[in-house]
Structure 1
Amino acid sequence: MTGSEAPPSFRLAYVPGVIPAKWVRIWQERLPDVPLDLVMVPAAEAPGMLRGLDADAGFVRLPIDRTDLSAIPLYTEATVVVVPKDHLVAAADEVSLADLADDVVFHPLDDTLDWEAPPGRPAIERPATTADAIELVAAGVGLLVVPMSLARLHHRRDLTYRPVTDAPQSRVALSWREDTTTDRVEDFIGIVRGRTVNSTRGRTQGQAEPNKKADQGAARRKPATGKPASGRSAGRTSAKTPRSAKRGKPRRRS
C-alpha cells in the first residue's frame, strides 16, 4: 500500500434503536488504523444489505432468514406501549395486551415485532414508518407498541410509555454473510463478545503474548546443567577451596 492509499474501512450497519457506540469505541482503541463506517438501515432492509456485501456486519432484529447469514443473538428488549401523557395507561406501572383492546393500536409497515395477531383495534390505514405512527399517537389518534429502544429513539415531551407484560419481544443480533467471515469480522465479533485484546481465539495478533509468557515460564523451569555459577558467587566458592586445603600441620616457628 502506498502512502496515498487509504486503509480499507470496516462498514457496520445497524437498525434504528440499536446504539453501537461502546463497540465502536473499543474498535477505535484496538484498531485505530482501520476506519469504521456506520450506516443506519431500516430493520427490513438490513439482511439484504449484508447479503449484498454493502456492509461487513450489522446489528439486526430477529427473526431474519438465516439461509446464508450467521447471527449471534446479543440481547432481548422489553416491549412498551407509547401513549399520550394524559392517557389512562400512563397511570399504570405496566399493562397487558388485554388492557389495550378498546384502543386503536398502530401497526406500522416497519414494525419489528413478530405478532401472531396485533393488539387493539386496527387503524384505518397502516402508517408507513414508526416515526409516522409516533406522530399519530401524539395527535391522540391511537397507541403504538414497540421495543423500548424505539420508544426512546422517538421520545417526545407529550408522550410516555409503559411496559407490556405479554407482548412479543424483539431480539437484537450481530449478523454477517456466512461465506465472508473475514479477519475484520472476527475482530468485531471478539469485541462484541467481550474478548480481551490478547485473546487467542480467531486472531493471530493475540497469540504472541501468551506464547512469550509460556517461553519465559519454560526458561524458569529449565533444570540446572551442573556448570559452575558465574559472577561473584563463583569467585567466592573458588577462593574458599585453596584456604581449606592448606589446613593441616601448623607451621613450625624458628
Structure 2
Amino acid sequence: MTDSAPAPTTFRLAYVPGVTPAKWVRVWIERLPDVRLDLVQVAPGESCGALRSGDVDAALLRLPVDGEDLSAIPLYEETTVVVVPKDHLFAAAEELSPADLAEELVLHPLDDTLDWTAPPGRPAFQRPETTGDAIELVAAGVGVLVVPQSLARLHHRKDLTYRTITGVPRSRVALSWPKAEETPDLVEEFIGIVRGRTVNSTRGRRAEAEKGRKTAPKPAKKPAQGAKTGGAKAGGAKKTAGGRPAKPARGKAGGAAGRSGKPRRGR
C-alpha cells in the first residue's frame, strides 16, 4: 500500500458581502501558483468568529473588530449612499444630507455595518434581519435604506437607485487575522499583496528565498592564462623593446648604497 500524496498548501480567506477580493486574488495566483487560495463568504457578524475558530486564516471585513485578539489593517473607506425607489423624490437629487431624511422612515437592519451614534430619520417599528430583507422593503415602498455603496451595488434592482449622503459614518474595510507572536508566512504574503508591495519588497517566504539566493557566496574566479603578477608576465621576465632583459629597478633598501651603487667613503 502506497502513501497518499500530501494535501496541497491552502490559504483560506473569508470576505463579507460587498467586499471584492478579485484584484488581490489575481496577484496571489501570479506570485504563489503552488498555494491554493480558498475564498469563504461569511456574514458580517460571523467574520471574527471564523478567525477565532481557525476556519479561515484571514478575513476581509468591516471595522471595528470585536476584541483585542485580532490584528487588523485598514484598507479603504466606502462611500455611504441612500437606497430609494426610482420614482422617489430623492432620485432627482445629486447628493443628500441627514437633514433630508428627517421625515423619512429609515430602515436599520440587524446586520448593519455602519457605526451609528444616532441614525437619521424615523426608525421602523421592527428592524429587518438582513440588508437583503431591507432592500425588499425599500422596493415595496416601506422606507429608505442607508448602506455602503458596495452593498447597494450588490443588491442592485431595476426598480431601485441610490444617492450619496454626506455627514454620516463611512464603512471601513480591513484585513484581519488572529494575533500571534509570529505572523504566519502565508498571512504575511497576503498582507504584502494588499499593501501593494512588490515581489522583492514583500516579507513573505518568497522574499526570504530570494534573499537566500542573493547572499549565497559566489565561487572564486580562476586567474586567466597569461595574467600579470607583480608587474611581469607569468612564466617569464620582462624584456625591453630590443629583446634584452631589462635592468632591475633600483630599490631603497641599503640607504645611499641603494641609490649610487657604490659604498660611501668614510672620512
CA distance in 2, matches of 1:40, 1:103: 33
Matches within 5 A, 1:27-66: 27-66=28-67
CA contact (8 A) 1:89 1:162 kept: yes
Q: Which amino acid aligns with 1:5?
A: P
Per-residue deviation, 1:82 = 0.3
CA contact (8 A) 1:198 1:207 kept: no
2:192 aligns to what SS in structure 1? helix
Matched residue, 2:124: 123
Among 239, 244, 248, the residue aligned to 2:241: 244
Distance 1:208 1:185, change over 3 A: closer
Calculate percent identity across the aligned residue pairs.
63
CA distance in 1, matches of 2:140, 2:241: 107
Matches within 5 A, 1:60-209: 60-179=61-180, 181-199=183-201, 201=203, 203-209=204-210
CA contact (8 A) 1:200 1:207 kept: no
Matched residue, 2:250: none
1:43-71 CA distance string (max 9 Å, x none): 11111111111110001111122410000
- Please identify which structure carries the higher helix content: 1
Among 221, 224, 229, the residue aligned to 1:230: 224
CA contact (8 A) 2:189 2:205 kept: no
1:85-126 CA distance string (max 9 Å, x none): 111111111000110111111000100111111111111211
Per-residue deviation, 1:181 = 2.6
CA distance in 2, matches of 1:79, 1:171: 11
**Structure 1 unmatched ranges of 5 or more:** 220-226, 249-254
Matched residue, 2:261: none
CA contact (8 A) 2:9 2:34 kept: no
1:44 aligns to what SS in structure 2? helix
1:111-169 CA distance string (max 9 Å, x none): 01111111111112111100010011111111000000000100111111111111111
CA distance in 2, matches of 1:169, 1:186: 27
Per-residue deviation, 1:247 = 7.0
Q: Report runs of 4+ in structure 1 exceeding 3 Å deviation.
A: 207-216, 229-234, 237-243
Q: Which one has the largest radius of gyration?
A: 2
Number of positions where the alignment pairs a residue of Structure 1 with one of Structure 2: 236
Q: Which amino acid aligns with 1:124?
A: F
Task: Select the structure with the greater relative contact order (CA < 8 A; seq sep ≥ 6).
Answer: 1
CA distance in 1, matches of 2:4, 2:36: 16
1:33 aligns to what SS in structure 2? coil
Q: TM-score, normalised by structure 2?
A: 0.79
CA contact (8 A) 1:199 1:207 kept: no
CA distance in 2, matches of 1:51, 1:241: 80
CA contact (8 A) 1:12 1:56 kept: yes
1:4 aligns to what SS in structure 2? coil
CA distance in 2, matches of 1:160, 1:12: 31
Matched residue, 1:223: none
Per-residue deviation, 1:243 = 6.5
Q: Which amino acid aligns with 1:186?
A: E
2:45 aligns to what SS in structure 1? coil
Distance 1:183 1:100, change over 3 A: same
